A and B are shown apart, each in its own frame.
Chain A
Amino acid sequence: MSTDPLIAAGHEDWRLFVAKARANRSFQAGAVLTLAVLAMAALSLVWTPHDVAALSISDRLQPPSAAHWLGTDHFGRDIVSMIMAGSRNSIAVALIAVGIGVGIGVPLGCWAAARRGLVDEVLMRASDIVFAFPALVSAVMITAIFGPGAVNAIIAIGIFNIPVFARVARGAALALWPREFILAARASGKGAARITIEHILPNIANLLLVQGTIQFSLGILAEAGLSYVGLGAQPPATSWGRMLAEAQTMIAIAPQMALAPGIAIIVTVLGLNLLGDGLRDVLDPKLRRER
């Protein structure tokens, strides 16, 4: 079986990917940062240096020390533990929001590309309308109407991922439909749905992966903004945005409280952006932007 040409081609692709990834510094830096944040979130499920919920007024606003590596907040909570626990919230919200965008947007985009005509026109105009809403304004509106909370933040961010993925999927699928291998599939009697699943999707997966990384990072920023204004995760859940909102009230006394959550957001977003740029270069040299 190992001589199956398809499998051999798969190995070849993988070797090429690894070789290119080794040469791409942006990809490596992004992958390291992203994996570090993911590992931190995973670790926080089983272990944090201190109990995140433990209040200890006598330990409040402590500078960094051996017991509290980044000090404590105005309730005496350990900042390292809060950053670790907060990463789960950021990642969960942004990742599920990307999932909503992919899960609904990609089928819609593929459908539009396969059917063309009226379906395409209606879907694209609908996505124009969604794009007309500044994402932040609508996210604020949605979370304000349906109540603040992590779930509504996910929905608010997710809705704006739908037209993004629909556009990317449609554009890429439209370029594939006139190609010979699709024509061959149609000639062999396959329907549009089967062609989309068997031939279109595998060929646009790379693009979707790159876009997914970008939307993931935008989602982290959006979630932080929403929870900063009090519309995201609610207490007792910890989130980086809420930590910043609390730090704002203490900025004159304890400016260090604002540093750690901000740097956590920057590292996460920077890692994902670098990973996205790197992936684009590694996966498809044709997409490589002039830099």
Chain B
Amino acid sequence: MLAYTARRLLIVLVTLLCASAVVFFVLEIVPGDPARLMLGLNASDAAVQALREQMGLNEPVLIRYFAWLGGMARGDFGTSLTYSVPVIELIGERVMVSVPLALIALVMSTAIAIPLGIFTAARRGRPADTAAMAGAQLGIAIPNFWFALLLVWVFAITLQWLPAGGFPGWSDGLWPGLSALLLPAVALALPQAAILTRITRSALIETLAEDYVRTARAKGLPARVVLWRHALRNALIPVLTILGLQFAFLLAGTIIIENVFYLPGLGRLVFQAIGQRDLIVVEGVVVLLVATVVFVNFLVDLAYGWADPRLRRR
């Protein structure tokens, strides 16, 4: 298990290194001089040169890449060109919106999908199953930002139960912040719930066809006990790993949903930074999201290796 973990960890590090290089060099070829951008159009060439020197922009590109990488390893993501505050502070603020949003969506989609997956697998082929699977097909096809618009129209504009957008922050207590995240979380959760329902259902159906389940049935155990005690535990292993992956997808999915609800999260931060050519912020956020995906993948690999010793040899 130790050798397996070390090998996986090495892959994580190499992937992160390559991914960060991709981000850095792609943004490097973007036209526009950050120093001139900071100083405005009327700045003299001498002032721009001086700032370039100060920002280290005149260093060779490889040196700048490793300086940036080294900084991030110490938690220093650089300084935003437009806000003139450390990028890590900006990210820290926005994470307080995006991460709770993704977590609420994850809890919602799990709370819907797992019971529904079990229910449909147990009633495979019956009308309830067919109807739920048709619903899941539809859920996958619905763009979440369109669903978000409908939610705004029904619950914010027509019924006026919840805010249509904006975020009051967490300082006024839990509810004002939570109520602002509720509709976006539902919009994010719906397609994920549809996907997760299908995965839970097919994993459970596959497990129900296994020999040990047949044995449990053959020795006279009631169907309920076979389903809950024997099949479900094994079927949930792939489901749990998918859940881990979904968190990363949900975090990325907030990028568009935050725009529907004008939420000051990571997604809006990236959009604003791109609009203002504040590339160091863009780099920081993208690397952070990539690192989240890679790290969650790593945890999933470990969980698989722990659950199934055969996978450790490869």
Q: Which chain B residue has the least Cβ–Cβ distance from A222?
A: B143
Instruction: List residues of A whose CB falls within 8 A of some B CB.
Output: 125-126, 128-129, 132-138, 140-142, 144-145, 217, 221, 224-225, 228-229, 244, 247-248, 251-252, 255, 258, 261-262, 265-266, 269-270, 273-274, 289-291
Give the interface size class of chain B.
35 or more
**Closest approach, in angstroms, between the C-beta of A61 and any C-beta of chain B?**
15
A133-B23 Cα distance, complex, nearest whole Å: 10
A62-B66 Cα distance, complex, nearest whole Å: 59
Whether the Cβ atoms of B143 and A274 lie closer than 8 Å is: no
**Closest approach, in angstroms, between the C-beta of B88 and any C-beta of chain A?**
18
B286: Cβ under 8 A from any A Cβ:
yes
Query: Which residues of B are found within 8 Å of A261, using beta-carbon distances?
Result: 146
Known: A229-B271, A244-B145, A266-B138. A134 touches B251 (CB 8 A): yes
A229-B145 Cα distance, complex, nearest whole Å: 10
**Closest approach, in angstroms, between the C-beta of A228 and any C-beta of chain B?**
6
Partner of A270, one of B141, B150, B256: B141
A145-B23 Cα distance, complex, nearest whole Å: 11
**Closest approach, in angstroms, between the C-beta of A126 and any C-beta of chain B?**
8
Whether the Cβ atoms of B146 and A136 lie closer than 8 Å is: no
**Closest approach, in angstroms, between the C-beta of A263 and any C-beta of chain B?**
9
| Stretch in B78-86, B107-115, B201-209, B211-219 touching the partner | B201-209
Whether the Cβ atoms of B141 and A141 lie closer than 8 Å is: no
B67-85 Cβ-contact flags toward A at 8 Å (1 or 0): 0000000000000000000
A273-B142 Cα distance, complex, nearest whole Å: 12
Known: A132-B15, A290-B202, A290-B209. A270 touches B146 (CB 8 A): no
Partner of A138, one of B138, B259, B286: B286
Known: A129-B19, A225-B143, A251-B157. A145 touches B30 (CB 8 A): yes
A255-B153 Cα distance, complex, nearest whole Å: 7
A171-B168 Cα distance, complex, nearest whole Å: 49
Known: A140-B270, A266-B141. A251 touches B153 (CB 8 A): yes
Whether the Cβ atoms of A136 and B256 lie closer than 8 Å is: yes
Whether the Cβ atoms of B152 and A141 lie closer than 8 Å is: no
Instruction: Give 22 pairs: A residue, B residue, CB < 8 Å, sorted on A.
Output: A129-B19, A129-B22, A132-B290, A132-B293, A132-B294, A133-B290, A133-B293, A134-B290, A138-B286, A140-B274, A145-B274, A225-B143, A225-B145, A228-B145, A251-B149, A252-B157, A262-B150, A266-B138, A269-B141, A270-B138, A274-B137, A291-B202
What 6 pairs between A and B have smallest CB-CB spacing? A134-B252, A144-B274, A262-B146, A269-B141, A270-B141, A290-B205
Q: Which chain A residue has the least Cβ–Cβ distance from B259?
A: A229
Partner of B282, one of A134, A141, A262, A274: A141
A251-B256 Cα distance, complex, nearest whole Å: 18
Q: Which chain B residue has the least Cβ–Cβ distance from A258?
A: B149
Known: A273-B140, A290-B205. A134 touches B145 (CB 8 A): no
B46: Cβ under 8 A from any A Cβ:
no
A290-B118 Cα distance, complex, nearest whole Å: 14
Query: Which residues of A are found within 8 Å of B30, using beta-carbon distances?
Result: 145
A144-B269 Cα distance, complex, nearest whole Å: 13
A141-B290 Cα distance, complex, nearest whole Å: 13
Partner of B289, one of A126, A134, A144, A255: A134
**Closest approach, in angstroms, between the C-beta of A20 and any C-beta of chain B?**
19
B255: Cβ under 8 A from any A Cβ:
yes
Whether the Cβ atoms of B26 and A145 lie closer than 8 Å is: yes
Query: Which residues of A are found within 8 Å of B282, using beta-carbon distances?
Result: 141, 144
**Closest approach, in angstroms, between the C-beta of B294 and any C-beta of chain A?**
5
